[in-house]
A and B are shown apart, each in its own frame.
Chain A
Amino acid sequence: MADMKIGAYICQGCGIGDRLDTAQLANVAKREGKAAVAKEHEFLCNAEGVKMIQDDIDNDGVNHVVIAACSRRAKTDAFSFEGVTLSRANLREGVIWVRPDTDEARETTQEMGDDYVRMACAESKYMKMPAASGEQGLLRHLLVVGGGIAGMTAALEAAKTGYTVDLVEKSGKLGGVAGEMYKKYPAKAPYDVLADNTTGEMIAAVEGNSAITVHLNTTVASTDGAPGRFSVTLATESGSSNDITVGAIIQATGFHPYDIAKLPELGGGKSPDVMDQLAFEKMVKANGGAIKKADGSDARNVVFVQCAGQRSDTEGHLPYCSGHCCMTSIKQARYVKDAGGDATVIFDDLRTPGADGEDVYRGGQEAGVAFSKGTVKGVEAAGSGLKVSYNDKILADDTTIDADIVVLATGMVPASGPNPYIAQDIEAAEKDGNADLTAKLKAEQEAPVTSILNLQYRQGTDVPHLKNGFTDSHFICFPYETRRTGIYTAGPVRRPMDAHQAIEDATGAALKAIQSCENAALGRAAHPRSGDLSFPTFRVEGCTQCKRCTVECPFGAINEDEKGYPQYNEARCRRCGTCMGACPVRVISFENYSVETVGQQLKAVDMPDEFSEKPRLLVLACENDAYPALDMAGMTHQEYSAYARIIPVRCLGSVNTIWITDALNSGYDGVMLMGCQKGDNYQCHFVKGSEMAHYRMSKIDDTLTQLNLEKERVQTYEVSITDIQRIPQIINDMEKLIGEIGMSPFKF
């Protein structure tokens, strides 16, 4: 690349020109920011302003553009230039909109503006143009694991878009649980009737589709590579194997019904006439609609016990609701009514979610299914039948009801592979002194679970679990995503759901998988930094092979090469920078985001001396939630301290502790880190980034002690995008705190 030439462009529109001395800002850019060109413009984002910049790029050799105007989140269409780096100084949302328009405030407001221009120029100096790695290839081919309703839907949907699919099914036939149904609920209103099972038609459509290759009695023996270039070995029962290359993977392995033998108090495993919903469904189907006991006689009375072994904190039970079971029991109770028998559903909370749910419930009631709110205490043999004892919660009565068959509405256990992080989780639980959890996790570790994908990743063979074995990732922002880029989960392996939801889910996952292939082909990141071309590289000479990056990458993107050095897989990387934050010797960087691009910004800030009564607060704000919230604080004109200097970071996980040390050494009085919620109900867009940052910052106390500084000076916060009032408040509180504990003595 030719020599660096910084062009700084300062906008006077949106009131910036009235509130700030833009000539001075231009001066700062030239003198301190070393900008070769510094121009003011009264309306920078209009066609004329943009043309002015483009002309400088085209004719004047400007290749590093600094825009001092609105937030980097605004006017992104106008300020998008090919072939140059772009830095933004946030003078509007970050300065004039958060400061009062008064004579007293004028000086400190101008100082804020000056600093943001210095910072943007400093960043610009250390930025390079990102370019794709050259690892890319376009492969419009998917692997779908699981031939149930979700897997088949994913395959069909992908085929519709022109993709080809290898569909792998462990058993000898397609259809999964949905194929076992006697009847189903209709896909369209009216929902208060039962419809024929149409899974057979779907199987025929899959088998007849030339874009889909079905592999029955087959499993995945090995998966390696990255999005756009996964190499997969399929193994058949007969021992033969088959190598394929796919662009992305959808895991739709479904669920197992919870084992009723674990519910002996409800008669599970004790009588053949106590069964789970799937067994009941199969029995009715086999009998063509007749309801028969194990001995072949007709069953007149069937009792359905809801929430059997689920939504319960009893040891060994499932703590969650499986979502479909109330509707399924209502459906099955209608089989009984249709066959002329009596059906009673004993529930604690009857949950029939969705637009169709209420109609399904009503339909059951119209059909004469009896519903009774209560807690079932036990199921025992009584004569040739069964006796269900329960507490009627409306009448506060202990009572019994006779039954020929008892159906236990048990939960869904996800058919996921082993949790790759189990060892880490055990370690964490041990450290917390949580003996119960430790024991539980250890039991899980010992139970043999067969791997599904057999990933050849350093971080384990299967996609990580979120909770209770479900392989979900960011349940709010990125459904279907797992923490293994290019591998998507759909259906009940992701979260409990019914067949209709599984169809929707699989459609979504298929589209995500396609998006992943297309992005990988262009070298672009998947969400949430979609389109990003930068990717991390490391300086091999500096690397100490500590392996922190390979362990801490939330997405398992980094393998290890034969020599023990990290080996990046660009297409697996989400560009969060967690590895960059982790590296103790700071050898990891992105072209346009590095230890330097941030480190130089914080050092560029003008540091008034200890006696000026002008403290400086460094705010490292996550660009996903904290920074937008700060922008919105500006839009709604919330005021915050003129001493804060805010730098957006990709993820709190990318914060390298050197930035904190540098900030303290250069005289900042306080350092604030703002990231998303961590833990079980995390909101972190990179799953583990915020957690890692909190963990690393818990170790910063040593540094502070060495410097003889109060530990309150460095604080880490969990904030959300809606904290528009809270964030300014915590910044102001920090200013107050500094007032109390005094200025930092490290100002030079």
Chain B
Amino acid sequence: MSNPNQAMVEKYRSNFLKEVEANVEEGHWVKMCMQCGVCSGSCPLGPHWEHPPQEIFMMIRAGKREEVLGSSSMWMCTSCYNCIARCPRGLPITHIMHGLATYAKRLGLQPKTQPTAKFSQLFWSNLTKTGRVNELKLGLSLYFMNGFANGIKTALKMQDVGLGMYKTGRLNPLEILGGHSIKDTGGLQKMLKKAFEIEEAKIAEYKG
């Protein structure tokens, strides 16, 4: 497989930081990290991260492009904002994490089996189809995210919850037929397509 990122890898071999500054939301903050480690120590999920935030920032500065963008780390962030509240340098760490995840996704470098990454894609596809979130379909696709057998198992387990939601009018089984949508679905699609083109053009030079 030819690597579409090859050219960019060359270009930024010594300067991944600049790439992050140019493309990642709040990326210009990365250079301000003073490596105190408070964020890593504050993150409730910290011990489960492949590379906690402090390390991610150092890796960016050390030019470790593939390791950072391919890492599952940023996808672990639950947006609890603990790190932001505590960072003595005032880095918007949460936002940078989401920014890095988004950028990795756009380049197609995100880890392929990371559940948060997968769910995000499901959510996006679900939403953009009709302009409204189809909760029934989203729920089901979430159940079946990890294969058919798993999906059945989860669905059975969640039966009671689903029933309860139905009874209280929180879930319409007819949604399975397509569900309600916004008035101008086509217009939305066009808008999104345009936005995507603009974004792509922006990062085209980084895609090499």
Which chain A residues have a beta carbon within 8 Å of chain B's beta carbons? 350, 361-362, 365-366, 368, 370-373, 392, 394-395, 397, 399
- What 8 A-B pairs are tightest by C-beta distance, nearest first? A394-B58, A365-B32, A365-B31, A373-B35, A395-B58, A370-B61, A394-B55, A395-B62
Extra inter-chain contacts (10) besides given A365-B32, A372-B58, A395-B62, CB under 8 Å: A361-B34, A365-B34, A366-B32, A370-B31, A371-B61, A372-B61, A372-B62, A373-B35, A392-B62, A399-B62
12 residue pairs of the A-B complex, CB under 8 angstroms, read A361-B34, A362-B89, A365-B34, A366-B32, A371-B34, A371-B35, A372-B61, A373-B58, A392-B58, A394-B58, A395-B62, A397-B62
Indicate whether B107 reaches chain A with its CB closer than 8 angstroms: no
Indicate whether B59 reaches chain A with its CB closer than 8 angstroms: yes
Chain A residue numbers with a CB within 8 Å of B61 are 370-372
Q: For the complex, what is the distance from the CA of A652 to the CA of B34, rounded to whole Å?
A: 48
Indicate whether B116 reaches chain A with its CB closer than 8 angstroms: no
Contacts of B17-58 to chain A: CB distance below 8 A = 17, 31-32, 34-35, 54-55, 58
Chain A residue numbers with a CB within 8 Å of B32 are 362, 365-366
B35 x A395 contact (CB < 8 A)? no
Count of CB-CB pairs between chains A and B under 8 Å: 34
Chain A residue numbers with a CB within 8 Å of B17 are 370
A368-B35 CB under 8 A given contacts A395-B55, A395-B58: no
| A349 to B: closest C-beta gap in Å | 10
| A132 to B: closest C-beta gap in Å | 57
B31 x A368 contact (CB < 8 A)? yes
Chain B residue numbers with a CB within 8 Å of A372 are 58, 61-62
Chain A residue numbers with a CB within 8 Å of B59 are 395
| A399 to B: closest C-beta gap in Å | 7
B54 x A394 contact (CB < 8 A)? yes
Chain B interface, >50% SS class? helix
CB nearest to A369 among chain B residues: B31
Chain A residue numbers with a CB within 8 Å of B31 are 365-366, 368, 370
CB nearest to B29 among chain A residues: A365
Chain A residue numbers with a CB within 8 Å of B58 are 372-373, 392, 394-395
Chain B residue numbers with a CB within 8 Å of A394 are 35, 54-55, 58
Q: For the complex, what is the distance from the CA of A370 to the CA of B35, rounded to whole Å?
A: 12
Size of B's binding interface in residues, CB under 8 A:
13
Chain A residue numbers with a CB within 8 Å of B89 are 362
Chain B residue numbers with a CB within 8 Å of A362 are 32, 89
Query: Which one of A361, A366, A371 has the highest number of Cβ atoms from chain B below 10 Å of its Cβ?
Result: A371
| B69 to A: closest C-beta gap in Å | 16
| A268 to B: closest C-beta gap in Å | 26
| A680 to B: closest C-beta gap in Å | 32
Chain B residue numbers with a CB within 8 Å of A366 are 31-32
CB nearest to A352 among chain B residues: B34
Chain B residue numbers with a CB within 8 Å of A392 are 58, 62
Q: For the complex, what is the distance from the CA of A361 to the CA of B89, rounded to whole Å?
A: 11
A350 x B55 contact (CB < 8 A)? no
| B24 to A: closest C-beta gap in Å | 16
Q: For the complex, what is the distance from the CA of A494 to the CA of B155, rounded to whole Å?
A: 76
Q: For the complex, what is the distance from the CA of A307 to the CA of B31, rounded to whole Å?
A: 22
| B91 to A: closest C-beta gap in Å | 11
CB nearest to A373 among chain B residues: B35
A350 x B54 contact (CB < 8 A)? no
| B52 to A: closest C-beta gap in Å | 10
Chain B residue numbers with a CB within 8 Å of A395 are 55, 58-59, 62, 64
CB nearest to B35 among chain A residues: A373
A350 x B34 contact (CB < 8 A)? yes
| A468 to B: closest C-beta gap in Å | 29
Q: For the complex, what is the distance from the CA of A516 to the CA of B141, rounded to whole Å?
A: 87
| B190 to A: closest C-beta gap in Å | 41
Chain B residue numbers with a CB within 8 Å of A361 are 34
Q: For the complex, what is the distance from the CA of A362 to the CA of B91, rounded to whole Å?
A: 12
Contacts of B57-87 to chain A: CB distance below 8 A = 58-59, 61-62, 64
Chain A residue numbers with a CB within 8 Å of B35 are 371, 373, 394
Chain B residue numbers with a CB within 8 Å of A373 are 35, 58
CB nearest to A361 among chain B residues: B34
Q: For the complex, what is the distance from the CA of A368 to the CA of B21, rounded to whole Å?
A: 11
Chain B residue numbers with a CB within 8 Å of A397 are 62
Chain A residue numbers with a CB within 8 Å of B34 are 350, 361, 365, 371
| A403 to B: closest C-beta gap in Å | 13
CB nearest to B54 among chain A residues: A394
Q: For the complex, what is the distance from the CA of A361 to the CA of B35, rounded to whole Å?
A: 12
Q: For the complex, what is the distance from the CA of A366 to the CA of B33, rounded to whole Å?
A: 11
| B161 to A: closest C-beta gap in Å | 44
CB nearest to A367 among chain B residues: B31
Query: Which one of A361, A366, A368, A394 has the highest number of Cβ atoms from chain B below 10 Å of its Cβ?
Result: A394
Query: Which one of A362, A365, A373 has the highest number of Cβ atoms from chain B below 10 Å of its Cβ?
Result: A365
| Residue-wise interface mask of B (159-187) relative to A, using a CB-CB cutoff of 8 A (1 in contact, 0 not) | 00000000000000000000000000000
Chain A residue numbers with a CB within 8 Å of B64 are 395
Q: For the complex, what is the distance from the CA of A365 to the CA of B17, rounded to whole Å?
A: 13
Chain B residue numbers with a CB within 8 Å of A399 are 62
Chain B residue numbers with a CB within 8 Å of A370 are 17, 31, 61
| A75 to B: closest C-beta gap in Å | 49
CB nearest to A364 among chain B residues: B31
| A482 to B: closest C-beta gap in Å | 38
CB nearest to A347 among chain B residues: B35
| A706 to B: closest C-beta gap in Å | 63
| B58 to A: closest C-beta gap in Å | 4
Q: For the complex, what is the distance from the CA of A371 to the CA of B31, rounded to whole Å?
A: 8
| B54 to A: closest C-beta gap in Å | 7
| A745 to B: closest C-beta gap in Å | 65
| A591 to B: closest C-beta gap in Å | 59
Q: For the complex, what is the distance from the CA of A370 to the CA of B17, rounded to whole Å?
A: 10
| B130 to A: closest C-beta gap in Å | 45
Q: For the complex, what is the distance from the CA of A371 to the CA of B89, rounded to whole Å?
A: 15
Q: For the complex, what is the distance from the CA of A368 to the CA of B61, rounded to whole Å?
A: 11
Chain A residue numbers with a CB within 8 Å of B62 are 372, 392, 395, 397, 399
Q: For the complex, what is the distance from the CA of A362 to the CA of B32, rounded to whole Å?
A: 7
CB nearest to B21 among chain A residues: A368
Chain B residue numbers with a CB within 8 Å of A368 are 31
Q: For the complex, what is the distance from the CA of A394 to the CA of B35, rounded to whole Å?
A: 8
| B57 to A: closest C-beta gap in Å | 9
Q: For the complex, what is the distance from the CA of A394 to the CA of B57, rounded to whole Å?
A: 10
| B31 to A: closest C-beta gap in Å | 5
Q: For the complex, what is the distance from the CA of A350 to the CA of B61, rounded to whole Å?
A: 17
Q: For the complex, what is the distance from the CA of A397 to the CA of B58, rounded to whole Å?
A: 12
CB nearest to A368 among chain B residues: B31
Q: For the complex, what is the distance from the CA of A365 to the CA of B21, rounded to whole Å?
A: 13
| A192 to B: closest C-beta gap in Å | 12
Chain B residue numbers with a CB within 8 Å of A350 are 34
| B90 to A: closest C-beta gap in Å | 10
| A362 to B: closest C-beta gap in Å | 7
| B195 to A: closest C-beta gap in Å | 31
Q: For the complex, what is the distance from the CA of A698 to the CA of B131, rounded to whole Å?
A: 91
CB nearest to B51 among chain A residues: A395
Chain B residue numbers with a CB within 8 Å of A365 are 31-32, 34
| B193 to A: closest C-beta gap in Å | 37
CB nearest to A396 among chain B residues: B55
| A124 to B: closest C-beta gap in Å | 61
Q: For the complex, what is the distance from the CA of A364 to the CA of B104, rounded to whole Å?
A: 29
Q: For the complex, what is the distance from the CA of A392 to the CA of B61, rounded to whole Å?
A: 11
| A428 to B: closest C-beta gap in Å | 43
Q: For the complex, what is the distance from the CA of A372 to the CA of B35, rounded to whole Å?
A: 9
| B29 to A: closest C-beta gap in Å | 10
| A99 to B: closest C-beta gap in Å | 52
Q: For the complex, what is the distance from the CA of A366 to the CA of B21, rounded to whole Å?
A: 12
Q: For the complex, what is the distance from the CA of A356 to the CA of B65, rounded to whole Å?
A: 34
Q: For the complex, what is the distance from the CA of A118 to the CA of B68, rounded to whole Å?
A: 83
| Residue-wise interface mask of B (106-135) relative to A, using a CB-CB cutoff of 8 A (1 in contact, 0 not) | 000000000000000000000000000000
Query: Which one of B31, B55, B59 has the highest number of Cβ atoms from chain A below 10 Å of its Cβ?
Result: B31
| A223 to B: closest C-beta gap in Å | 48
| A329 to B: closest C-beta gap in Å | 15
Chain A residue numbers with a CB within 8 Å of B55 are 394-395
